[in-house]
A and B are shown apart, each in its own frame.
Chain A
Amino acid sequence: MNTEAQAAPPKNRRYFHLDCAIIGQREIAQEHFVIRLSCPEYDGDFSPGQFVNLKCDDTPYGRLYRPFSILRYHKHSRTIEILYKVVGSGTMWLKEQPEGTVLKILLPLGNAFTVPNGARRVALVAGGVGIAPMIFLAEHLRNTRPQADVLFLMGARAKDGLCIPLFEEARIDAEYATEDGSFGHNGLVTDLLRQRFTASSAEQSDAQAESSDSAQSQGFDYIACCGPTAMMAEVQHIVEGRCKAEASLEERMACGIGACFGCVQTIREDDGTIARATTCRDGPVFPLDKVVFEQ
């Protein structure tokens, strides 16, 4: 990636490696936990899309840090909330940790969603634990863009994975899809997007949503998505560059700050050239039309 930037003076710190203490954890769906972490030494902020690296073990030769998106950040109390699904050794260890356990955390990592200023109609498309940054973004939009009409589409394999309690406590209305038909639309969350995404969105985005009737239109000014790769590739296919869309991507990570080139995404630049950008520093949020999904 290009860097015109001069090296930051050491005092100009961007990344911090701090202690945080577990204040509480609760299981909101099977094997899905919301963990609250108190991080009193951090006086910065977080934007939707950013993540942290958490040390999920207690030995010096233990595991690589695990990346987790920010679900919520309460700046006044310096409390971070994360939603995690138990999938392997690190998350298995994490769920056993009692209140008061002190963990190492590297933060704030990655970039953030960039919702255009005039955006009136926004769609947020989430699949599985991809819900975490989407809840953060939805709450952020409610606070900062009260005029925006936000449609939240949530998909999971089965009802439990929809994390409905999260929507209830955040008072977010969503449309749901489950692959087994146990709740909401029987099928994929992208089916819901396709139904809503009409050709009118093309003209809509061209007009930059400035016309007064834009709110009534079926088109969107902005779409954000986070979930399984196949889901995001399908969103890309549906949108076809007709409105601004961003995706928060995942990749296996080591350093978390852009130094090891382990976590790259293949990106097609505007001039057609192919580049490999780091998910942890250049991302995790990328313009959806530039992502080359390799499956």
Chain B
Amino acid sequence: MNHEQSKHAIPDLTVRIGSLELKNPVTVASGCFGYGEEYNEFFDVGLLGAIFTKAVSKEPRLGNPTPRLWETPAGMLNSIGLQNPGVVTFIKEKIPILNSLGTTWIVNVVGKAIRDYVAVVMEIEKAGGAPGYELNISCPNVEGEGMEFGKNPKVVEELFTTLRSITDKPLIGKLTPNVTDITLQARIAENCGLDAISVINTLSGMAIDIETRKSRLAKPTGGLSGPAIRPIAVRMVWECANVVKIPIIGQGGIVRAEDAIEFIIAGATAVSIGTGLWLDPDCPMNVISGISDYLARNGLAHVGELTGTANLDSAT
């Protein structure tokens, strides 16, 4: 077998997110994988490209009352309310575990105000740092009348600029789809020097019990995830890829390899799986091998060759 053939036989799956090298483009989404320890009792999570942790805030959060979940056609609504043990406990109890899992991890950071994000990142940096930080801007900004951070471009810019000034580690902006034009957030992220963007977080949704006329969740609204949102997520990844050069971590409804490949073709460098874990717990491994097979079948040596290759000439 000559060099060319062997190169094509085993495609190179490594991808870069800023200074981070991932062994493959398949990651697991924030809030769907705890802090890695539970799923590590099920499969070797070290085989994943990266783990995005459950959100971490400055103070511990109890989260919302139940019901927190409601199943919908090909998807689900959730209103967890960012339950987490707070940054101090995260550092003490979760980082040692994350460091033992055999792959890189990125901590998802939330706050009620910009200074909370700063506090979380500074605390973690003091304790040795995380391989990367993902800034969740889908949470309510208490100082902005409770509106999602991501809905106000000025606040997003201030948040991203401030965080960029306190760490050189890979910073990823997790964009909210609950806006008219998601590319605004993407441009701000790139202009502020962020290393990548995650596209998309859950779509705000609602379900009502027609007998009691109450919300199916303890809160009036929740975040919609799963295959139901995939076409919207693919479209938003494509829109963002058209306006920024920084890597995009595509997510929203990935269950099978072809779903992930669709995101990559639309412009994603890497992908994240959340709800898919609960529709098929084996899916991360199947997606990794399915991408590899697809690349080999199409004579592509590196997964990066597939990114942003949508052939939309005939589309109107």
Chain A residues within 8 Å of B, Cβ to Cβ: 2-3, 5-8, 10, 12-17, 60-65, 104, 106, 251-266, 274-276, 281, 294
Contact = CB atoms under 8 A, between A and B. Distances in A.
Given A6-B100, A252-B66, A258 B279 contact: no
Contacts, number: 117
B68 A7 contact: no
A259 B281 CA distance: 12
A254 B69 contact: yes
Given A7-B100, A60-B256, A64-B279, A14 B71 contact: no
9 contacts: A10-B44, A15-B41, A252-B67, A259-B34, A261-B34, A262-B69, A264-B68, A266-B65, A276-B83
A276 B63 contact: yes
Contacts of B71: 63-64, 252
B65 to A, nearest CB: 6
B279 A60 contact: yes
A276 B84 CA distance: 10
Nearest to A5: B37
Given A14-B41, A104-B280, A265-B66, 16 more contacts: A3-B97, A6-B96, A7-B37, A7-B40, A16-B42, A17-B281, A62-B279, A63-B279, A251-B66, A252-B71, A254-B76, A257-B39, A259-B34, A260-B80, A261-B83, A262-B78
Nearest to B44: A10
B33 A262 contact: no
Contacts of B256: 60
A14 B76 contact: no
Nearest to A274: B62
Nearest to A251: B66
Interface residues of B, number: 46
Interface in B32-48: 32-34, 36-46
Contacts of A7: 36-37, 40, 97, 100-101
Contact of A64 (B42, B96, B278): B278
A155 to B, nearest CB: 24
Contact of A263 (B31, B46, B69, B275): B69
B46 A262 contact: no
Nearest to A17: B281
Contacts of B80: 260-262
A17 B42 contact: yes
A274 B282 CA distance: 35
B23 to A, nearest CB: 15
Given A7-B100, A8-B41, A255-B277, A260 B32 contact: yes
A63 B100 CA distance: 33
A257 B70 contact: no
B243 interface: no
A17 B62 CA distance: 30
B173 interface: no
A8 B46 CA distance: 12
B74 interface: yes
A13 B41 contact: yes
Contacts of A12: 41
A281 B278 contact: no
B58 interface: no
Contacts of A252: 66-71
A251 B65 CA distance: 11
Contacts of B227: 61
Nearest to A256: B278
A259 B45 CA distance: 13
Contacts of A60: 255-256, 279-280
Interface in B263-287: 275, 277-282
